[in-house]
Amino acid sequence: MTKFEVLQSVVQTIILIAVIATFVVYYCQMRTMERQARAIEDEMAARLRPWIGMFEFGYKPGADCALHINLRNVGPLPAQRAHLELSLHPRDDDGPPITWREQQLKALVPSEEGNYVIALQPYTKFLEWQQARREIVVEGIITYSLAGKAFESRFEASLRFNEAPDEEGKVRKRWRNVEVT
């Protein structure tokens, strides 16, 4: 083999290694771009959907005792076929809960509030729990959809009849949004 042939073989080997390295780098970049594109698509899907959360929770005592729940769609798109279900039970009791289900489906457009007033007089169990000064937990789930894709939001609240009333003489309460899927 001549010096020229050796040099030619070395140059060809270097070029082949450079081509292979270039393809490997391009492949890695392509995979990274695919992951970035998927992440952007997932973020857009998460942003462009309805998001319902609880914004107020209240209790009206007396002969017309009722729960007041304010849910709001803070997403940019409407929540269709929205349906609320509630479960009430004392915190320290495993007995059967009181359940309430919304009778009709509704749609909540962006920024629209769903104001619910749930009368509690028909539920004698609730009145017994209240008179026994128990903490009553209210668990709620609202299901909704958009373009056939189902979503749900969960929240939890409590009426603390087991504690002294607040400065205004009202029952103490707490509430929070738990999960949105």
Give the domain range for residue 11.
Answer: 1-47
Least Cα distance to 134 among 175, 171, 180, 87 occurs for 171
Q: Are residues 118 and 171 in the same domain?
A: yes
Per-residue pLDDT of the chain in tens (181 residues, 90 and over written 9): 788 888 899 999 999 999 999 999 999 999 999 999 898 887 876 778 899 999 999 999 988 899 999 999 999 999 999 999 999 999 988 789 999 999 999 999 998 888 999 999 999 999 999 999 999 999 999 999 998 899 999 999 999 999 999 998 899 999 999 988 8
pLDDT of residue 1: 77
If DSSP states are collapsed to H, E and C, what string results for the chain?
A: CCHHHHHHHHHHHHHHHHHHHHHHHHHHHHHHHHHHHHHHHHHHHHHCCCCEEEEEEEEECCCCCEEEEEEEECCCCCEEEEEEEEEEEECCCCCCCEEEECCCCEEECCCCEEEEEEECCCCHHHHHHHHCCCEEEEEEEEEEEECCEEEEEEEEEEEECCCCCCCCCCCEEEEEEEEEC
Q: Are residues 39 and 86 in the same domain?
A: no
Q: Are residues 176 and 90 in the same domain?
A: yes
pLDDT of residue 55: 94
pLDDT of residue 152: 95
C-beta of residue 103 within 8 angstroms of C-beta of residue 82: no
* Total domain count, the chain: 2
Q: Are residues 78 and 131 in the same domain?
A: yes
pLDDT of residue 159: 96
pLDDT of residue 93: 81
Q: Are residues 163 and 81 in the same domain?
A: yes
pLDDT of residue 148: 87
Q: Are residues 62 and 135 in the same domain?
A: yes
